[in-house]
């Protein structure tokens, strides 16, 4: 699939779902740039999360605007961004600023995600915040252009499934 055939893609889900890993693979498969929304957080957000304090909507909205700006700036060439996008209002905020954006929701059992989070040593997001993310997560609505992919498969398979779904969106 060429870059011009792919809409902007948000690989979404809670912490430890594999957003960055799958996002990188998906971007490579599509031949587009990969971005990680974690890199776009202001220092204040990172400090809060590192301290085990969940972000509020007020914390997230400027960050989501930055995510949207980065996606919109690459809309002509295509891109994939790993971004939690946990609530409908967050996804709507991105959609308002990035027409045509689609979402790939990485989903797994609470137990699997907790196990993955416990094994992470190189991330500012502590395992203790996983529960707050799971509690915040809102299921995709039928009117959202999105696909849910179970993360119980190898990341390369998940990325391939996302590519196939993206191909199915073409007229």
Q: Are 40 and 66 in contact (CB under 8 A)?
A: yes
Contact assessment for residue 80 and residue 32, using Cβ atoms and an 8 Å cutoff: yes
Q: State the pLDDT at residue 57.
A: 87
Query: How many CB atoms are located within 10 Å of the residue 110 CB?
Result: 11
Number of H helices, E strands in the chain: 7, 5
Residue 3 is predicted with a pLDDT of: 41
Q: What's the predicted TM-score (pTM) here?
A: 0.87
Enumerate residues 6+ apart whose C-beta is below 8 A from 169.
Answer: 7, 102, 145
Q: Which residues in the chain come in under a pLDDT of 50? A: 1-4, 124
Q: Which residue has the tokens 């959202």?
A: 144
Given its phi and psi angles, is residue 139 left (phi above 0), alpha (psi -120 to 50 degrees) or beta? beta
What pLDDT is stored for residue 1 in this prediction? 47
Overall size of the chain counted in residues: 171
**Digit-coded pLDDT (tens) for 57-105:** 899 899 999 999 999 999 889 999 999 999 999 999 999 999 999 999 9
Cβ neighbours for 24, distance < 8 A, ≥ 6 positions apart: 34
Considering Cα of 144, then 147, then 150, then 151, what sign does the dihedral take?
negative
Sign of CA dihedral 151, 152, 156, 158: negative
């Amino acid at each position: 699939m060429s870059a011009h055939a792919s809409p902007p893609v948000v690989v979404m889900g809670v912490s430890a779902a594999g957003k960055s890993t799958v996002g990188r693979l998906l971007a490579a498969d599509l031949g587009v740039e990969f971005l990680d929304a974690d890199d776009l957080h202001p220092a204040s957000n990172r400090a809060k999360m590192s301290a085990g304090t969940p972000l509020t909507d007020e914390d997230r909205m400027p960050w989501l605007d930055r995510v949207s700006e980065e996606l919109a700036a690459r809309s002509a060439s295509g891109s994939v961004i790993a971004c939690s996008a946990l609530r409908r209002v967050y996804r709507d905020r991105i959609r308002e600023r990035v027409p045509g954006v689609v979402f790939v929701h990485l989903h797994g059992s609470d137990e699997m995600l907790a196990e993955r989070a416990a094994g992470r040593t190189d991330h500012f997001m502590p395992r203790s915040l996983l529960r707050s993310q799971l509690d915040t997560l809102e299921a995709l609505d039928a009117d959202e252009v999105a696909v849910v992919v179970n993360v119980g498969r190898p990341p390369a398979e998940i990325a391939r499934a996302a590519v196939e779904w993206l191909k199915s969106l073409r007229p």
